[in-house]
């Protein structure tokens, strides 16, 4: 196996005395893992920060063998790690991607969306701008992996008007009138996830996180990966303090 690609660093873990196993998100091959010799060295460690863009080269004798990986830095987002909110957002977006995507399956829309979210975190003047983009990224992940929500029409009446709830069981939208009697059991559906555009306020953003978090935990993050949700909880708590 020989693969060269521009990729996003998503996750790293120590391996052996000096090495690192890195999981990178590539445009055409999805997540690809590789062993970086000397990955914990002073020279390479800053290159392998989650969120960074690298030129990567993977080499392995067989498809089943862990590839050797060499990386060259293209763009660093290391400066954002000095900002607690931005650092928490990068940590969560990259950890989520690495935790739930199968390796070796191409997800070009997810690669583009993740790069867009990370770029928004880097460029946006306030967290409110990129927080809504992160909710949308979580929605896209659910959709790409076959757990997309049906927000096109009310599950009870078939109407596409005034959709304000989502059933936590079916993932289908529910209109205001049809769901009024069950509102305590339903999840709020913020309008920016239906109509597009910016989130109207922080309440809408937190409703979005509550919505996507329910389905991520239920459908994609099983008990073996529940520790990944701790990164999300840290992010949401920091956003609440900043709102």
So what CATH class is 2-76? mainly beta
Give Dmax over CA atoms of the chain in angstroms: 62
Write the pLDDT tens digit of every residue in 79-123: 999 999 999 999 999 999 999 999 989 999 999 999 999 999 999
Q: State the architecture of 82-151+189-242 in CATH terms.
A: Up-down Bundle (1.20)
Q: What's residue 227's pLDDT?
A: 78
Share of the chain above pLDDT 70, in %: 98
Any residues with CB less than 8 A from the CB of 13 and at least 6 apart, and which? Answer: 20, 21
- In sequence order, the β-bridge partners of residue 75 are 53
> What pLDDT digit, counting tens, does each position of 124-143 carry?
878 988 999 999 999 999 99
The pLDDT tens digits for 4-61 are: 999 999 999 999 888 999 999 999 999 999 999 998 999 999 999 999 999 999 999 8
Q: What is the pLDDT of residue 1?
A: 82
Instruction: Establish whether domains 2-76 and 82-151+189-242 are of one fold.
Output: no
Q: Where are the domains of the chain?
A: 2-76, 82-151+189-242
Lookup: tokens for 83: 């900002």
Dihedral of alpha carbons 212, 218, 224, 226, sign: positive
């Amino acid at each position: 196996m020989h693969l060269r690609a521009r990729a996003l660093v998503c996750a790293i873990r120590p391996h052996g005395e000096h090495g690192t196993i890195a999981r990178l998100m590539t445009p055409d091959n999805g997540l690809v893992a590789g062993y970086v010799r000397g990955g914990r060295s002073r020279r390479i460690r800053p290159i392998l920060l989650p969120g960074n863009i690298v030129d990567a080269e993977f080499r392995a004798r067989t498809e089943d063998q862990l590839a050797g990986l060499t990386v060259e830095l293209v763009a660093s987002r290391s400066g954002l790690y000095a900002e607690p909110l931005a650092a928490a957002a990068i940590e969560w977006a990259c950890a989520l991607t690495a935790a739930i995507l199968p390796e070796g399956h191409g997800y070009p829309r997810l690669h583009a969306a993740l790069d867009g979210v990370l770029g928004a975190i880097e460029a946006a003047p306030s967290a409110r701008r990129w927080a809504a983009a992160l909710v949308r990224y979580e929605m896209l992940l659910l959709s790409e992996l076959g757990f997309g929500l049906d927000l096109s029409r009310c599950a009870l009446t078939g109407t596409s008007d005034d959709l304000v709830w989502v059933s936590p069981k079916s993932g289908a939208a529910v209109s205001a009138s049809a769901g009024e009697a069950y509102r305590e059991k339903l999840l709020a559906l913020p309008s920016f996830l239906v109509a597009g555009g910016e989130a109207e306020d922080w309440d809408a953003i937190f409703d979005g996180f509550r919505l996507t978090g329910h389905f991520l935990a239920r459908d994609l993050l099983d008990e073996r990966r529940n520790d990944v949700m701790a990164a999300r909880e840290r992010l949401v708590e920091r956003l609440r303090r900043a709102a």
